[in-house]
């Protein structure tokens, strides 16, 4: 909130007075969090990010010992995925909260708890109605103004607050405030174009004459243009002119072409502020079939992921008790957005299946298919062994072969024909007495 200087008067008013009276300042355009949405680029960026975050599944997991996780049935899971309060769905709640943080830099929702301290509802609050304050002891709290002008204080633990990028770690700064001039230029070009086509004259073609047309020739020319050349069905016809008239068709003037380039550049400028790929704003000039998939992946990693982490950490901090934080946590599912085409997914699943990471039902679940009977088994190749058994295997191979007894076995390990062994009495089995 801007400080009001005592030097402001009606002769030299400050900016806050212009905003309070609704009078535009400077070039005639006032950029606020609400008026910025009149820019199609800002509107598109806010919609893309808000709808993307709101549409992602947000389940609650329970930690397993010693590691791993499993989906848990928890009251917070019902709030995040079904109804955060009796008046809106989970999608509407998260979409509204994301629009607040994208425009104002902060989003707020009052946490309603029952007598046992269990969270039962989340009520979003417009950021311009929330004020950050501290008690005399330095403890933070929030002062909320309602529509009817009443105020009430909300304790710090009872406010679900996600701040954007800021400087003190407690409150985010509005992106609209930082990029005010870029958005103002975008609105100015749109206003200029609307005023030009509403009040200006833009002629598509001009017929010139060295002298002055007679009344009869002027009447014939008007009648000829109406009957023979006006309308889409009469385009590209040969035009016959009289009395030395010449016809020339207008093209886009250089100033108009520069105007179009300025509008296009401002769309890219605003997309850069919100970190939204241009192809998602219907600007396919630099997109191709080979790189649009990579751009979509970059959008998930570099644009969505920071917002998702903000959501997850605030949920785990404010909606779970201290004991529950050790066992439960919320996490978005983004695998569906990171999947490649069918060939890339098939190759990936095959590799994961071959090393025993995924079972058949794991793969079917990721592809949104129902499980099959017997599909929960994990398989590994037979020609593989654990790494810790490798040394023992080579040690056994390096031992020399046992030496066979003399005259016992030949090189093939079989007994030679015509030889006999000794019997138990030590006498030769084939000898005769003297």
Per-residue pLDDT tens listing for the chain (434 residues): 444 444 444 444 455 544 554 444 445 678 888 888 888 889 999 999 999 999 999 999 999 888 888 999 999 999 999 999 999 999 999 999 999 999 999 999 999 999 888 999 999 999 999 999 999 998 999 999 988 889 999 999 999 999 999 898 899 998 888 888 888 877 777 776 666 555 554 555 666 767 777 788 778 777 777 776 666 566 666 666 666 677 666 555 555 556 667 677 788 888 888 999 888 887 777 666 666 777 778 888 889 999 999 999 999 999 999 999 999 999 998 876 776 667 778 888 899 999 889 999 999 888 878 889 999 999 888 777 776 776 666 667 666 666 666 655 554 444 444 444 444 444 444 444 43
What does the pLDDT read at residue 251? 56
- Both structure tokens of 180: 């005010």
Is the entire prediction scored with pTM above 0.85?
A: no
Q: HSE (CB half, 13 Å, CA atoms) of 152?
A: 8
Scored b (16 or more CB within 10 A) or e, 246-255 reads: eeeeeeeeee
* Contact indicator for 66, 55 with CB cutoff of 8 Å: no
What does the pLDDT read at residue 289? 61
What does the pLDDT read at residue 4? 42
List for the chain the helix, strand, coil content (%; round to 5).
Answer: 45, 15, 40
**Cβ-proximal residues to 262 (8 Å cutoff; 6+ apart), any chain:** 185, 189
**Cβ-proximal residues to 234 (8 Å cutoff; 6+ apart), any chain:** 228
According to DSSP, the residues that pair with 60 across neighbouring strands are: 330
What does the pLDDT read at residue 139? 93
What does the pLDDT read at residue 324? 93
- CA–CA separation, 360 and 375 (whole Å): 5
What does the pLDDT read at residue 410? 52
- CA–CA separation, 64 and 13 (whole Å): 63
- CA–CA separation, 334 and 56 (whole Å): 7
According to DSSP, the residues that pair with 409 across neighbouring strands are: 415
Dihedral sign (CA 357, 361, 362, 367):
positive
Q: 131 φ, ψ to 5°?
A: -125, 135
- CA–CA separation, 136 and 141 (whole Å): 11
Query: At which residue do the structure tokens 């985010």 appear?
Result: 172
* Contact indicator for 105, 164 with CB cutoff of 8 Å: yes
To 10 degrees, what angle do helices 180-199 and 254-274 make?
150
What does the pLDDT read at residue 158? 95
CA distances from 223 to 216, 217, 229, 249 (A): 11, 10, 10, 20
* Contact indicator for 234, 228 with CB cutoff of 8 Å: yes
- Both structure tokens of 179: 């990029």
- CA–CA separation, 106 and 54 (whole Å): 16
What does the pLDDT read at residue 11? 44
């Amino acid at each position: 909130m801007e400080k009001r200087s005592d030097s402001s008067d009606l002769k030299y008013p400050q900016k806050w007075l212009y905003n309070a009276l609704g009078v535009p300042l400077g070039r005639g355009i006032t950029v606020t969090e609400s008026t910025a949405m009149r820019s199609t680029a800002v509107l598109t960026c806010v919609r893309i990010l808000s709808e993307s975050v709101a549409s992602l599944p947000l389940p609650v997991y329970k930690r397993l010992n010693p590691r791993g996780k499993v989906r848990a049935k928890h009251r917070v899971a019902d709030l995040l995925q079904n109804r955060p309060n009796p008046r809106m769905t989970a999608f509407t709640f998260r979409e509204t909260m994301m629009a607040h943080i994208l425009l104002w830099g902060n989003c707020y929702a009052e946490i309603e708890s029952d007598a046992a301290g269990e969270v039962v509802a989340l009520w979003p609050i417009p950021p311009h109605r929330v004020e950050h304050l501290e008690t005399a002891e330095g403890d933070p709290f929030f002062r909320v103004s309602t529509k009817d002008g009443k105020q009430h204080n909300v304790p710090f633990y009872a406010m679900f607050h996600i701040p954007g990028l800021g400087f003190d770690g407690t409150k985010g700064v509005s992106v609209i405030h930082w990029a005010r001039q870029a958005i103002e230029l975008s609105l100015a070009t749109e206003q200029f174009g609307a005023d030009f086509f509403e009040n200006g004259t833009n002629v598509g073609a001009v017929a010139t004459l060295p002298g002055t047309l007679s009344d009869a020739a002027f009447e014939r020319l008007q009648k000829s243009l109406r009957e023979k050349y006006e309308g889409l069905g009469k385009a590209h016809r040969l035009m016959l002119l009289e009395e030395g008239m010449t016809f020339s068709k207008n093209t886009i003037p250089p100033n108009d072409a520069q105007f179009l380039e300025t509008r296009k550049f401002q769309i890219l400028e605003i997309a850069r502020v919100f970190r939204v790929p241009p192809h998602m704003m219907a600007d396919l000039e630099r997109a191709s079939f080979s790189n649009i998939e990579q751009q979509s992946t970059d959008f998930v990693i570099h644009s969505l992921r920071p917002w998702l982490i903000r959501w997850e950490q605030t949920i785990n901090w404010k909606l779970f008790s201290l004991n529950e934080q050790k066992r439960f946590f919320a996490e978005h599912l983004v695998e569906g957005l990171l999947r490649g085409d069918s060939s890339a997914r098939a190759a990936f699943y095959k590799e994961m299946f071959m090393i025993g990471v995924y079972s058949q039902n794991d793969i079917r679940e990721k592809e949104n298919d129902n499980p099959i009977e017997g599909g929960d088994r994990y398989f590994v190749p037979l020609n593989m062994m654990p790494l810790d058994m490798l040394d023992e295997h080579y040690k056994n191979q390096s031992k020399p072969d046992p030496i066979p007894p003399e005259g016992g076995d030949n090189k093939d390990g079989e007994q030679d024909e015509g030889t006999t062994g000794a019997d138990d009495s030590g006498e030769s089995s084939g000898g005769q007495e003297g």
